[in-house]
A and B are shown apart, each in its own frame.
Chain A
């Protein structure tokens, strides 16, 4: 008899099990996300650009450093879809190879800003007091330096030379974007942790004698980093765009890096005589930025039920 009842209870419980099992914030968001076409479209675009950055030879057999001066400024045709620029570089090949620098700058600047911002934000909010005050004033200082201005200053203090390696050229741009970009993440993380800290489970963990590191790692972080993920995703797009702006001012990436930003700023000089030079790199750049912003947008909607 009792056995019978138990099986009945079990079967009735099994059917809606999907709804009753307590779900984490992330699996909750995932259930929402997988039904959104926007999520899959932006993810697909990002994947496309990441593959392009990793293995550009999949997309083109051309050599991005091969300049055929004789063919300089050939407009797009059936044999050269994107045309050639003034130096005779094939724009299609250059655009494909340009993905790497832009994606590298975006990804590493995002990782670095998030790392700095999260550490500072968590420490400031968790320990509070004088540490919080000092850290937030430092954050304010970096926040008050205008972004482009700080970038120009930094890049002119450490100019690229003819012998700079690819790593140094890209690393410098990543560094300057990170130095100027972390304050917003730190503020966001601090606010988020302050919201989570007074919760009962955090108090309980501390009362049970958990070390600060354990409380932060297994109780605070999992509940506090959703806003940072969303903003980082949107920032990734913004960093790609910022790299292009620095290149436009002549101080971002330089030779030997091939990048969309450099290609666009070169093309702007010849905008009236060779407009196709501008179209393709800026199209790719805008699509990449768009993909990251769209992904961030969709993820935010999934995390924040209010906007639904």
Chain B
């Protein structure tokens, strides 16, 4: 187990370097001059240009800039944006909001998805099974931004049940609707995954034994079958949490949420490379660590899988 973790952590190093380098190169290759418009209508004074260029290492070739930049990040210094804000301050303010949003999405998809999947699985071929299968397909087929915008208009404006946009405080209650929108597609996948695994496991020998022993249906399904069927679901949700922490760009945009996704998009449109690369580096790290945890969890849940 210990050696497995160390090996995985070592494997992560080239991935982090590679992914951040690609992002770094692309961000700093974005067309546009960071100094444009910085000093109003007139061009910036030469002294300021020189100071600005030196501060952001703009004269160095890209690989050297990358090394300098990552060296600073390793020391915990995420740098300052071209506007002079500290990236770490912004990230500390925005990350809790994105985490709250993702937690709501995960809880929503896990609870509803498993319930729907179990209902469909134990009544295979019946009405409820077909209902779940068809409705999940429909959810998957409609793009998130359509679901988001329509539910915003319907529940936020027409019916007035919730506030249509999220304030900068982004409380749990404000994030309810956006969280559900964010989790909607994964909800469909969780339901289908639960159903498929449950159906498969219900035909397993140990289930027949449990029934033959005279266990009640509730106990057979609830205790024996469900526990085994949920292993792939847990790993899916774990990986999804890692993806959601970085992928809420569309939902954050629709509901005007001050999260990390919006920060990165704003950084790209403002050609503010420092902000983008800092935030993305964290995203990639979070994503990789979530995947590592999921793989470890897999071994815990299913003792047949060994990491030695």
Q: Is the CB of A141 within 8 A of B249?
A: no
A120 is an interface residue with CB less than 8 A from chain B: no
Residue of A nearest to B13 (CB): A137
Query: Which residue of B149, B269, B283 has the most chain A CB atoms within 10 A of its CB atom?
Result: B149
B71 is an interface residue with CB less than 8 A from chain A: no
Q: Is the CB of A153 within 8 A of B153?
A: no
A63 is an interface residue with CB less than 8 A from chain B: no
Residue of B nearest to A292 (CB): B141
Per-position 1/0 for A268-308, Cβ under 8 A of B? 10011000001000100111011001100100000000110
Q: Is the CB of A146 within 8 A of B246?
A: yes
Stretch among B17-25, B172-180, B298-306 lining the A interface: B17-25
Q: Is the CB of A137 within 8 A of B141?
A: no
Count of residues in B whose CB is under 8 Å from the partner chain: 45
Interface of chain A, helix or strand or loop or mixed?
helix
Q: Is the CB of B26 within 8 A of A141?
A: no
B27 is an interface residue with CB less than 8 A from chain A: yes
Given A245-B143, A290-B141, residue A144 in contact with residue B249 (CB < 8 A): no
Q: Is the CB of A153 within 8 A of B27?
A: yes
Q: Is the CB of B149 within 8 A of A268?
A: yes
Given A141-B14, A145-B19, A146-B283, residue A241 in contact with residue B149 (CB < 8 A): no
Q: Is the CB of B247 within 8 A of A147?
A: yes
Interfacial residues of chain B within 251-308, with CB under 8 A of chain A in the complex = 253, 264-265, 268-269, 276, 280, 283-284, 287-288
Residue of A nearest to B285 (CB): A144
Interfacial residues of chain B within 74-95, with CB under 8 A of chain A in the complex = none
B220 is an interface residue with CB less than 8 A from chain A: no
Distance of A140 Cα from B15 Cα, bound (Å)? 6
B137 is an interface residue with CB less than 8 A from chain A: yes
B196 is an interface residue with CB less than 8 A from chain A: yes
Counting from the closest, the 10 A-B pairs by CB-CB distance are A141-B18, A290-B141, A289-B141, A146-B246, A286-B141, A144-B19, A140-B15, A248-B145, A153-B26, A268-B149
Residues of A at under 8 Å CB distance from B?
Answer: 137-138, 140-142, 144-150, 152-154, 156-157, 159, 237, 241, 244-245, 248-249, 264-265, 268, 271-272, 278, 282, 285-287, 289-290, 293-294, 297, 306-307
8 more A-B contacts (CB under 8 A) besides A286-B138, A290-B138?
A: A146-B280, A149-B283, A152-B249, A153-B27, A156-B269, A289-B140, A293-B141, A297-B137
